[in-house]
């Protein structure tokens, strides 16, 4: 059974119909640049020895992450993963805090207690991932359950990769969401490689989104390098969920353009595959589209790129000024206090 394959967005008119004006488009472009910039600069910091542990990037997945996050409403929540820096950026996390997190500093969102992309600002509606994938899918379903119980017009977005789709958490989460028609959207970052394992060793069907039918909801496959197509499909799915139409499984097809983490040179990925997908670089695609369809000028491009550069320079400077955590803070927060429940979500 074939799922629907999303069509690319053509003209500015179509994009307007999908709810984006020109300013939104430039905002998306800026978020794409910040996303890639944060990871490129992070990689440099890692090579300089300023980042402990390992380092992961989502190169190739920027459009998928930014496109989905742009489609989310302000009160919606999500559980982005390690290829989804664009979600954090789009929801408004300040880049200096991301660098502080990378560097294990006291001002990182986890105050040095957890590393790399294991972070999230709950005030921005994001929940911090764990390494056990896709453990955050049942959690996203639980968020949606709370919205359904309270009859709030909010939606939860849960991310997973095509590798994690093989684990039982994915099945249990989608099945419960399907049974209860919960307001949740499942986003599969299908970047074709789970560490060194290709898709045909992870699942035996053509599209992961085919599985949606088994859970009683819709699936759609979208080109994850086309930020506007991703946005439109995510928006449809999110608004459908908000209106009581139940979950959707959106499979964003990309290629992981680097290794699993910095130690991995991805020798197992055929060179031609990298070359083919490099031609579909999500940033370059959108830049070209903006020039052709939205009259993006050289001046504007320079202004946006310059602004991002300054933002990141300042972010790294500020993060580097952040102190390392006090060893005495190790035990802080192992247990929550009643005051800790005074958050926007816990109420």
Partner 1 sequence: MAEKTYLQAISDGLREEMRRDERVFVIGEDVGVYGGAFKVTLGFQEEFGHWRVIDAPLSETAIVGGATGAAIMGMRPVAEMQFADFVSCAWDHLVTVAAKQRWRAGTPVPIVVRLPSGGGFSGGPFHSQNPESWFAHVPGLKCVCPATPEDAKGLLISAIQDPNPVLYFEHKHLYRRIKAEVPDERYTTPLGKARTHLEGDDVTVVTWGAMVYTAEEASRELDGDGVSVEIVDLRTVLPWDKAAVLESVRKTSKVLVLHEDTRTGGFGAEIAATIAEEAFEDLDAPVKRIAAPDSPVPFSPPLEKAFIPQVDDVVQGLRELAEY
Q: Is 311 in the site for partner 1 (CB under 8 A)?
A: no
Q: Is 214 in the site for partner 1 (CB under 8 A)?
A: no
Judged by CB under 8 A, the chain residues 34 through 93 that form the site for partner 1 are 77
Q: Can you tell me which of 127, 155, 212, 296 binds partner 1, judged by CB under 8 A?
A: 127
Using the contact rule CB under 8 A, the part of the chain among 54-62, 142-150, 258-266, 301-309 near partner 1 is 142-150
Helices (H), the chain: 12-17, 22-47, 62-71, 85-91, 95-102, 136-150, 168-180, 227-242, 271-278, 282-293, 298-321
Query: With respect to partner 1, which residue has the nearer C-beta, 106 or 341?
Result: 341
Query: With respect to partner 1, which residue has the nearer C-beta, 43 or 82?
Result: 82
- What backbone torsions phi and psi does residue 72 show, to the nearest 5 degrees? -75, 145
Q: Is 315 in the site for partner 1 (CB under 8 A)?
A: no
Q: Provide the minimum distance between the beta carbon of 329 and partner 1 in the complex, in angstroms, as a whole number.
A: 10
Q: Can you tell me which of 49, 204, 327, 338 binds partner 1, judged by CB under 8 A?
A: 338
- Laid out side by side, the sheet with 218-223 consists of 4-5, 218-223, 248-253, 184-190, 156-161, 77-79
Q: How far is CA 194 from the centre of its chain?
A: 16
Distance between CA 223 and CA 230 in Å, rounded? 7
Q: Is 340 in the site for partner 1 (CB under 8 A)?
A: yes
Distance between CA 17 and CA 218 in Å, rounded? 22
Q: Can you tell me which of 50, 118, 260, 318 binds partner 1, judged by CB under 8 A?
A: 118
Q: Is 197 in the site for partner 1 (CB under 8 A)?
A: no
Query: With respect to partner 1, which residue has the nearer C-beta, 18 or 110?
Result: 110
Judged by CB under 8 A, the chain residues 148 through 187 that form the site for partner 1 are 148-150, 156, 168-169, 172-173, 175-176, 179-180
Distance between CA 86 and CA 97 in Å, rounded? 14
Q: Can you tell me which of 18, 50, 92, 135 binds partner 1, judged by CB under 8 A?
A: 135
Give whole-number Cα distances, 291 to 181, 188, 229, in Å. 41, 29, 17
Q: Provide the minimum distance between the beta carbon of 29 and partner 1 in the complex, in angstroms, as a whole number.
A: 30
Using the contact rule CB under 8 A, the part of the chain among 7-15, 45-53, 106-114, 224-232 near partner 1 is 106-114
Distance between CA 129 and CA 74 in Å, rounded? 20
Peptide bond into 34 cis (omega under 30): no
Q: Is 20 in the site for partner 1 (CB under 8 A)?
A: no
Distance between CA 233 and CA 246 in Å, rounded? 15
The residues, ordered by sequence, that sit 6+ positions from 333 with a Cβ below 8 Å of its Cβ are: 113, 340
Query: With respect to partner 1, which residue has the nearer C-beta, 26 or 128?
Result: 128
Residue 147 burial by Cβ neighbours in a 10 Å radius (0-12, 13-18, 19+): buried
- What backbone torsions phi and psi does residue 249 show, to the nearest 5 degrees? -105, 115
Q: Can you tell me which of 62, 76, 84, 114 binds partner 1, judged by CB under 8 A?
A: 114
> In the complex, which residues of this chain contact partner 1 (CB under 8 A)?
77, 109-110, 113-114, 118-120, 122, 127-128, 130-132, 135-150, 156, 168-169, 172-173, 175-176, 179-180, 332-338, 340-341, 343, 345-347
């Amino acid at each position: 059974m074939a799922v629907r394959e999303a069509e690319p967005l053509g003209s500015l008119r179509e994009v307007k119909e999908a709810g984006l004006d020109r300013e939104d488009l430039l905002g998306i472009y800026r978020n794409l640049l910040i996303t890639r910039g944060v990871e490129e600069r992070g990689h440099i910091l890692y090579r300089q020895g300023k980042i402990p542990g390992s380092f992961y990037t989502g190169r190739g997945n920027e459009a998928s992450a930014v496109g989905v996050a742009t489609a989310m409403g302000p009160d919606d929540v999500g559980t982005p993963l390690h290829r989804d820096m664009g979600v954090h950026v789009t929801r408004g996390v300040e880049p200096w805090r991301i660098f502080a997190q990378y560097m294990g500093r006291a001002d990182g969102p986890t105050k040095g207690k957890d590393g790399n992309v294991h972070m999230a600002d709950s005030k921005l509606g994001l929940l911090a991932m764990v390494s056990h994938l896709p453990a955050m899918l049942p959690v996203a379903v639980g968020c949606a359950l709370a919205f359904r119980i309270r009859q709030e017009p909010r939606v939860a977005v849960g991310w997973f990769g095509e590798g994690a789709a093989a684990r039982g958490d994915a099945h249990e989460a989608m099945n419960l969401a399907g049974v209860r028609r919960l307001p949740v959207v499942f986003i599969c970052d299908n970047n074709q490689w789970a560490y060194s394992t290709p898709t045909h060793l992870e699942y035996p069907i053509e599209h992961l989104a085919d599985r949606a039918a088994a859970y009683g909801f819709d699936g759609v496959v979208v080109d994850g390098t086309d930020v506007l197509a991703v946005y439109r499909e995510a928006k449809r799915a999110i608004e459908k969920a908000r209106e009581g139409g139940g979950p959707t499984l959106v499979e964003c097809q990309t290629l992981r353009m680097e290794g699993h983490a910095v130690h991995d040179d991805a020798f197992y990925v055929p060179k031609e595959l990298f070359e083919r997908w490099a031609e579909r670089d999500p940033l370059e695609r959108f830049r070209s589209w903006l020039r052709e369809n939205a009259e993006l000028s050289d001046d504007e491009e320079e202004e946006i790129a310059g602004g991002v550069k300054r933002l990141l320079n300042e972010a790294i400077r500020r993060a580097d000024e952040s102190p390392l955590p006090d060893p005495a803070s190790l035990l802080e927060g192992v247990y929550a206090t009643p005051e800790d429940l005074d958050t926007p979500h816990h109420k």
